Structure 1
Amino acid sequence: MINSIPKNHRQELRQFYRQQRKQLTAEKQQSAAQMCLQVFLQNIDLTHIKTVAYYLANDGELDPQAMIQFCWQHNIQVLLPVLDPKRKGHLVFVNYQASSPMQTNIYGIAEPIASEQNIVELADIDLIFTPLVAFDIKGNRLGMGGGYYDRTLAPIRQKQLKTQLIGLAHDCQKSEKLPIDGWDIPLNAITTPTQFFKIA
């Protein structure tokens, strides 16, 4: 944990926590992914869950691939975020299957090719698992700094949608307290390989 950085120095926080997760070995990353699946299954009631959004891991992020495979096996629709071709700085969520045609975005991250037929509206998504650089136990999330998730997910709070937001993170990404701004979208819960933090 790091607690001595001034509130406005988000970039230093990002650098610190990105370095923490990048130091994890491939074996630790794989183990963390499997453990996170178990924590997810023990703490989330999937009875009424039909549609879940994940992401493809990058830059040392916790890999949700095991969770994606579980959803496919249990007929839960899986979505991935795609850079919105019509609104700069926003994301759309697109249906994702093992056979989905993929492309590489400007950040070098693979994403399904979006079309009018495979984009799912925010209000129709039950759970969105978000990547993050750091989190605290109040549900605050520090992202990579592009603001894509905050802009895209703002309607959840504005329109009081049922969509639940869950952060996925390694244990080393937990912060005592993160600086927050008015546009930051808080999480409903955070899943790590060893803990599930439910935010009141």
Structure 2
Amino acid sequence: MHGNSPKTLRQDLLKQRTAFAAEQNYAQIQARLIDHLNQLLSDQGKSWQSIALYWPIQDEIDLRSTLLACVKNAPNRTLTLPFARPDKHLDFYQWCQGDQLLPSKHGVPEPNPNNSLRPQINPDCIFIPCVGWSSSVVNGKMHYWRLGYGGGYFDRTLAERRKKNPKLVCIGIGFDWQQLNDAQWAAQTHDEPLDMLLTESGLLR
């Protein structure tokens, strides 16, 4: 059982994720998720010229090798990593394997915004790791929601960027066991919905 506060809930979920990553069948479950990711990239990825990924921390699933392979065969496609601004919005800068990254105040490796060889890019697709996730029906349509670390960076960024680019695709990355019910957590008015959610069971949209 989780505690009543979002902070306690996050702490419990992160402990569970650490234990889950140490289980014997974790590699197999992770491979299933990556298989679904490859299928998604094959089906829809051709329309994404720039893809934002995340640098994995605290046992988040690692998408780097899969996305590097995706762009290797498409010279016009770029990968980007987020940079956290002081106003708690995210900018995205081109990332190439081997780039030197800088630790943010939260300890997350970030691109150097002053690197003139790596321009700022507006991604067509953003992959976001989930601490937990939930679903709800709004106006007859299923929505998926992400519980993150509590900083609100992605919610602010998506709200801003979706106004400028209505075709922006935001995809949550998580596991089946991270699904939360309404008694545990419900999305708030400031939470931005995910366009899709990818787990080891497949793509939810």
**TM-score, structure 1 as length reference:** 0.83
SS in 2 for 1:17: helix
Q: What corresponds to 2:139 in structure 1?
A: none
How high is the sequence identity, in percent, across the aligned residues? 25
CA distance in 1, matches of 2:81, 2:113: 10
Q: Deviations over 1:68-127 (max 9, x none)?
A: 22223233311111122xx421211111101322111112221221137434344xx211
Residue type at the aligned position of 1:127: C
My pick for the range that moved more, 139-148 or 16-25, is 16-25
Q: Greater RCO between the two (CA within 8 Å, min separation 6)?
A: 1
Task: Check if 1:196 corresponds to 2:192.
Answer: no
What is aligned with 2:67? 68
Distance 1:135 1:67, change over 3 A: same
Unaligned regions of 5+ residues in structure 1, if any? none
The aligned amino acid for 1:22 is T
Flag structure 2 segments of 5+ consecutive residues without an equivalent: 136-142
Distance 1:32 1:115 in 2: 38
TM-score between the two structures when normalised by the length of structure 2: 0.81
Instruction: Kindly provide the amino acid, as one letter, of the partner of residue 104 in structure 1.
Output: P
Match of 1:38 in 2: 35
Match of 1:10 in 2: 6
Q: 1:160 to 1:103 in 2, by over 3 A?
A: closer
Which of 129, 132, 137 is the matching residue for 1:131? 129
Distance 2:95 2:71 in 1: 10
User: What code does the residue aligned with 2:124 have?
Assistant: D
* Residues 114, 170 of structure 1: alpha-carbon distance in 2 compared, 3 angstrom cutoff: same
Aligned equivalents of 1:163 and 1:181: distance in 2?
A: 21
Alignment of 1:52-67 (within 5 A): 52-67=51-66
Note if 1:115 corresponds to 2:88. Answer: no
Residues 80 and 112 in structure 1, CA contact (< 8 A), matched pair in contact too: yes
Aligned residues: 190
Deviates more, 1:57-66 or 1:113-122: 113-122
Shift of 1:145: 0.4
